[in-house]
Amino acid sequence: MGDDANRAADPARPAGLARGTRVLITVAAAVVVFVGIWFARELLVPVAVAAVVVIIAHPVRRPLERRGWPSWLATTVVIAVGYAILAVLGLLLVVASAQFIAILPDYADELQSTAQGVVDWLQSLGFSSEAAATAAGAIDPEQLLSFAAGVADAVLGAATAFFFVLAYVLFMAADASRFSRGTSVFGGARADAIGSRYFSGVRRYYVVNASFGAIVAVLDGLLLWALGIPVPITWAILAFVTNFIPNIGFVIGLIPPAVLALVIGGWPLALAVVLAYSAINVVLQEFVQPKFVSDAVGLSLTLTFFSVVFWTLVLGPMGALLCIPLTLLVRAVLLEPDPTTGSLRHLTGDPRAP
């Protein structure tokens, strides 16, 4: 009775729960949802990968159908393009993993010597022996061999999930054909516009990143070959893959060849690798590439970095590669349809926010 009397006395007071209560309930619901996604990540990651592949390959359908190709044949071509993308990525990962595992035993002694040298240097700077040993453990041969075994297990697990990705691509491509023949995909002009922007943004993001990633990979591979770093193809593939990880991908791709350069050539060679890598990647990834993807993505730098950390925590390593389309999907589903969320969209970096 008291709440009803107060609401009647103040007509401007909104009905229902207080804003703070609604926010807490929304946050609690989001936590429950993402915990559920974490538990189901082995099921959901292949779905997400297949969806991205179909989004990238789907535009192949339009010119074929305009030329009079039957729908089933255009769908077959889309599926073939999707399978080709997956086959190339799978081949790159297998080659890189095999070469990485093969070279570790050949450099075990050098790695051990370098690790001991790092320990001695850190102790001379005043670090305790435990702290120095922990810091040098990153290049300890046993740690790297254990990591190599983990890489082999991950590749085997990816091969197992690959079957499900192929099946999802097949079914999603067929569904996309059916949806493309309808007058409205999402039930309204506004929703269709949001979906169209999302699909085109994801497609452009991956196509542009793949193009620049290939350029970076070739330049990095040639650089490492010229400097005499072993298995430059492996590190070129790593540079290509990590180009899809925003902000920190360059650092992840730099560490292994820099450590190997330190092992075989000492600090001067490692410094040369770091400087040359930085020159190539900073120019392309920080100055040129953003001009092509900023309009398609429209995410602030802070949110982009947070999305890498968050989706990696939720989905594992594949979350780092899928973080941008997943973050854009959350914004497209939760924020863009609501006209009252303009301020939140603006904070995310959306250039179309009112």
Task: Note whether residue 8 is domain-resident.
Answer: no
Task: Note whether residue 11 is domain-resident.
Answer: no
**Contact in structure between 250 and 242 (CB atoms under 8 Å):** yes
Task: Note whether residue 245 is domain-resident.
Answer: yes
Write down the pLDDT at residue 218.
92
Task: Note whether residue 276 is domain-resident.
Answer: yes
- Specify the amino acid at residue 126: G
- For 157, residues 6+ apart whose C-beta sits below 8 A from its C-beta are none
- The number of distinct structural domains making up the chain is 1
Write down the pLDDT at residue 326.
92
Write down the pLDDT at residue 311.
92
Q: Which domain holds residue 275?
A: 45-348
Task: Note whether residue 14 is domain-resident.
Answer: no
pLDDT averages per 10-residue partition of the chain, 354 residues? 48 62 83 88 86 88 85 86 85 77 69 65 64 55 58 58 77 76 68 83 87 90 90 88 83 84 82 88 73 69 87 88 90 85 82 75
Task: Note whether residue 25 is domain-resident.
Answer: no
Burial of 72 (0-12, 13-18, 19+ CB in 10 A): exposed
Write down the pLDDT at residue 327.
92
Task: Note whether residue 343 is domain-resident.
Answer: yes
Write down the pLDDT at residue 238.
87
- pTM of the model as a whole: 0.78
Task: Note whether residue 213 is domain-resident.
Answer: yes
Write down the pLDDT at residue 132.
55
